[in-house]
Amino acid sequence: MNIIVCKLNKEDTFKLDTASQVLDFTNKKEYHHTFFKSLRRLYKMPTPFQEEALDLLYISIVVYFADRKVLRENTYDGWTRDFKLYIPVLNLDKWTTNKEHLEQLVSFLSGDNWSFEFRKRELNKVEKNVKNKIGSWYLGNKFTPDEFCMLSGGLDSFIGAIDLLSVKKNIAFVGLYGGGKGVKPYQDKIDEILQKEFSIDKDYFFNFNATPINGSEITTRTRSFLFFTHAIILASCLNKKTNLYIPENGLISLNIPLTNTRLGSSSTRTTHPYYIKMLQSLLDNMNIKVQLKNPYQFKTKGEMILNCKNPQLIKKEYSQTMSCSHPDQVRYDKSTKPLHCGKCLPCSIRRASIIRAYNKDVGEYSDPNFEKPKANKELLSFKLGLLDFEKNKNNPLIIQVAGPIEKDFENYDQVYKRGMDELKVLIDTIDG
């Protein structure tokens, strides 16, 4: 059992002799985190952040810390870890009531076993200062976007932003980057393109960093939880029912493993319908007035490109987005810049979607033909996986491999089949 104690205030005297690690936020050497460094824009919010949303943000930060610090390879099965986190919260009663729900949510997301113990805390000095100044300190125009949208730097979120901005302009966008250099330049470039194309002020684009110091586990399934909570706490400052858009294509969202190797580190349940349902239920239980929406749940990535509301813009700029699951790893090939590997499943789905839309892909990839030995084995596993898909695609249980599908079964089944057909077109053109 990995037992981690979190402290947020210098006055916190809680101790636990059995703790494996202590995460002390008063020690800057533990975690690099920038949420409270965007004070000018926080002060422009119409009302203070909701305390339950602040609790949720810190819970996600601690979860991500644990996720990065504890190696999967040291477990009995090379994957499943056991965590117990001791976290101080502002609203102890609500979190105690929803503890089991939170445990199930995070366990489903990461594939580990999580338990939480909560204790009461008060706002620390920084939080009090920010809360007191929000809504009263800034005398100019308040920052009141109608809705929020995640903007990861990937192709799906770029399309989502274009589609939203083609209809309405008062949207705020939230990005998050970690310790690597692979994603941030793409996020910045996408921000610039959208600002120029739609004449939007840069204040509508938030980009946060959250990086545990010396975290070495690379699977990081809980990063999406951390990403979502940054947008959720900002949206809570509007103090009204607010939509949060999480654009992702239906095939990736369903997270159906193409091969047995996909059951592990590369799989993600970021927008799986069951996970989104559990997260929405948690927000509702905590009275956090945020509504999660994925408008592309029943579209393939290729269909997202083909139906983009600004086809000229997406065709011109799609190569500026980053979809790769590990863009930093090209440094081992002595590349001087982050680059799509071309062979991971997210890269392959991206390439297949672009070929579906434009018949060719002008993007740059480090190994587009799966020529390296490890990539060649991955290509073979993809081909075998697609053969299995052809054999079993009419099995109604297939789309529930990664998690329960409780409604819209036929729609999910059809988007899975169309998405796999897109991928097959690409894989069949590559010799291996």
Question: Alpha helix locations (H) across 362-408?
Answer: 373-392
- Region 10-32: mean pLDDT is 91
Amino acid at 12: D
- Region 10-19: mean pLDDT is 92
- Please state, in angstroms and rounded to a whole number, the distance separating the CA atoms of residues 141 and 237: 15
Amino acid at 114: W
- Please state, in angstroms and rounded to a whole number, the distance separating the CA atoms of residues 171 and 195: 12
Residue 329 scores a pLDDT above 90 = no
Distant-in-sequence, close-in-space partners of 193: CB < 8 Å, separation ≥ 6: 313, 317, 320
| Other beta carbons less than 10 A from residue 347's beta carbon | 23
Q: Taking a C-beta distance cutoff of 8 angstroms, is the pair 23, 62 a contact?
A: yes
Comparing CA positions, the residue from 160, 144, 116 lying closest to residue 294 is 160
Q: What percent of the chain has pLDDT over 70?
A: 94
**What is residue 203's predicted lDDT score, i.e. its pLDDT?**
92
- Please state, in angstroms and rounded to a whole number, the distance separating the CA atoms of residues 200 and 250: 29
Instruction: Indicate the Cα dihedral angle 337, 341, 346, 350, nearest 10°.
Output: 80
Comparing CA positions, the residue from 327, 316, 300 lying closest to residue 424 is 300
What angle is formed at CA 151 by the lines to CA 217 and CA 191, rounded to 5 degrees? 120
Residue 38 scores a pLDDT above 80 = no
- Region 182-195: mean pLDDT is 94
Question: Alpha helix locations (H) across 341-372?
Answer: 345-358
Helix, strand counts (H, E) of the chain: 15, 10
**What is residue 182's predicted lDDT score, i.e. its pLDDT?**
75
pLDDT, tens only, 242-288:
999 999 999 999 988 876 554 444 457 899 999 999 999 999 999 99
- What are the tokens at 396? 């109604």
Residue 410 scores a pLDDT above 90 = yes
- Region 415-429: mean pLDDT is 96
Which of 18-32, 154-168, 250-264 is predicted most confidently? 154-168
Question: Alpha helix locations (H) across 117-268?
Answer: 125-133, 155-165, 184-198, 223-236, 250-254
**What is residue 266's predicted lDDT score, i.e. its pLDDT?**
47
Distant-in-sequence, close-in-space partners of 186: CB < 8 Å, separation ≥ 6: 153, 320, 321, 322, 338
Going by pLDDT thresholds of 50, 70 and 90, the confidence category of residue 136 is confident
- Region 166-195: mean pLDDT is 91
Question: Alpha helix locations (H) across 237-322?
Answer: 250-254, 273-285, 301-306, 311-317
- Please state, in angstroms and rounded to a whole number, the distance separating the CA atoms of residues 75 and 215: 17
**What is residue 58's predicted lDDT score, i.e. its pLDDT?**
97
Going by pLDDT thresholds of 50, 70 and 90, the confidence category of residue 139 is low
Residue 222's beta-bridge partner residues?
Answer: none
Average pLDDT, the chain: 91
Residue 330 scores a pLDDT above 60 = no
- What are the tokens at 395? 């099995």
**What is residue 264's predicted lDDT score, i.e. its pLDDT?**
42
Amino acid at 247: P
Domain ranges (residues) in the chain? 318-427
Going by pLDDT thresholds of 50, 70 and 90, the confidence category of residue 180 is low
Going by pLDDT thresholds of 50, 70 and 90, the confidence category of residue 10 is confident
pLDDT, tens only, 203-231:
999 999 999 998 889 888 999 999 999 99
What is the pTM for the complete model shown?
0.95
Q: Which residue has the tokens 């690597």?
A: 180
Comparing 73-87, 343-357, 372-386, which segment has the lowest mean pLDDT?
372-386
Going by pLDDT thresholds of 50, 70 and 90, the confidence category of residue 118 is very high
Distant-in-sequence, close-in-space partners of 129: CB < 8 Å, separation ≥ 6: none
Q: Taking a C-beta distance cutoff of 8 angstroms, is the pair 149, 164 a contact?
A: yes
